[in-house]
Amino acid sequence: MKAKSQKIGALEKVSFFLANVGNIPLMSLLSSFFTLFYTTIVGLDPAALGTLFLISKVADGISDPIMGYFLDKFPVTKMGKFRPMLILGTVICVINYIFLWFGAVWSPVGKYVIVYITYLLLGWTFDIMDISLNSLLPVMTAENKERNSLSLIKALGYGLGGAAISILAPIIVASGTLESYYILIFGSMAVTLVFSILGALGVKERVTPKGTDDERYSLRELFQFLRFKPVWTHFLTILLSTVGTSLSSGTGTFFYTYIMKDLKLMSGVSVVSLVITLLGMAVAPVLANKLGKKNVFLAGIIVAVGGSLIRFIDVRSLLLIYLGAVFAGIGGGFIGPLAYGIQADNTMYVQYKTGKRAEAAVASLSSFVSKAAQGVAGAIPGYMLAATGFIGGAAQQPQSVEGGIIFCSITLPLILCAAAGLVFGTLYPLGKKEVDEITLAIEQGVSTK
């Protein structure tokens, strides 16, 4: 591996931030509003949507690693390896995304077919964009402090982008009309196009492989990377925690609509969560440099679980909802910046153990885990709504529906996030000392292969 200057300038950091903000509207809107839109506006069966989420993630299980494999094989151009594919993937994905939301509205005949096809295609088109973006951090710099800085910027982009969606989207679609969804989707896709492309044009890929056969890996070896303990324990942690958080956010629209009776309350809670999350993000890299990513990441999970426990005192108490948002903000502020830094550490670990660079491979496997979690989290509420007797478009729902919403938005996320903390705290092996030793060994050209 050869590396140019590892220092990242302010303008490039802004560009990296924009690229990550541009990535957020796609899946954030799907996890929060897609089920609500298609059950109340389009009138689809929630159980059919739950099945769609599960089927799509099986397809993603095939597409993600394959896409990562081909992206790692993509030649290094003047723009680098991943930046051109990020731009191409953004354009393709946005076009498909618009048809996913409104294809069934524009052509009611065969609307289930349209929704299923466009959703399944999203798994492939989003891969090009998402894996390319997540592969950038390891190739922008090899310096640990710079990676921590970029991890913070990535998390800020994700956090602020997600917060903007959480704050503005409920206000925009509070009327529940089709026109309000046009404003939301077309506006957010304009942001995705502009931010992602500008971001891709503004960053640089400094860390490049030597180009020898020794650093190439086969498709079979790609799946073997999962055997390494840091990789699979981190993935299992992300799977559990993402299902939990996606469940909470995905049923949040139903919680505020049918339990709190006011969707706009979601915006105020999101503002509080955003402010606290930003404070947590500011502190997380400093603590990680001193204590190690593992310890701070685990602390974030524990704090977030504490926030969920508080909610059980009175699930309808607005005060406790805000207090829970404070805890969740602190936890998310710790977790967000460090998750991608840990992924970069795992990429280095794979290189240390095999002598092979595989940024896109690890990113693609990580992408699959995240999307699989989102698929499971999307399916559970759909089946829950159907099983408890949800009535699409009705202002008042049966008591059984309210119980199901509370279970999916508070109880189950708490269980899953606690399990994630247990897995990561007891099994993940790379502390600060181990990461520093691996970094030094790679710089000296040492591996265990």
Amino acid at 128: I
Comparing CA positions, the residue from 324, 328, 325 lying closest to residue 300 is 328
pLDDT at 287 over 50: yes
For residue 213, the model assigns a pLDDT of 44
Query: Per-residue pLDDT averaged across 238-257, rounded?
Result: 86
Alpha carbon 254 to its chain centroid, in Å, reads: 21
For residue 211, the model assigns a pLDDT of 45
For residue 128, the model assigns a pLDDT of 85
> Are the beta carbons of 234 and 429 closer than 8 angstroms?
no
Comparing CA positions, the residue from 336, 300, 328 lying closest to residue 410 is 328
Rounded to 5 degrees, what are φ and ψ at 208?
Answer: -125, 150
Query: Per-residue pLDDT averaged across 76-82, rounded?
Result: 79
For residue 3, the model assigns a pLDDT of 43
Q: How many CA atoms lie within 13 A of 133 on its CB side?
A: 33
Superfamily of domain covering 2-443 = MFS general substrate transporter like domains (1.20.1250.20)
Query: Per-residue pLDDT averaged across 87-114, rounded?
Result: 90
Strand partners, 207: 3
Highest mean pLDDT among 153-157, 250-254, 325-329, 355-359: 325-329
Alpha carbon 272 to its chain centroid, in Å, reads: 21
Q: pLDDT per residue over 401-439, tens digit each?
A: 888 999 988 999 999 999 999 999 999 998 888 888 888
Rounded to 5 degrees, what are φ and ψ at 6?
Answer: -90, -5
Query: How much of the chain exceeds pLDDT 90, in percent?
Result: 23
Three-state secondary-structure class, residue 281:
helix
> Are the beta carbons of 250 and 416 closer than 8 angstroms?
no
SS (H, E, C) 166-230: HHHHHHHCCCCCHHHHHHHHHHHHHHHHHHHHHHHHHCCCCEECCCCHHHCCCHHHHHHHHHCHH
Amino acid at 103: G
Query: Per-residue pLDDT averaged across 216-232, rounded?
Result: 73
Instruction: State the Rg of the chain over Cα.
Output: 21
The band of 192, judged by pLDDT with boundaries at 50, 70 and 90, is very high
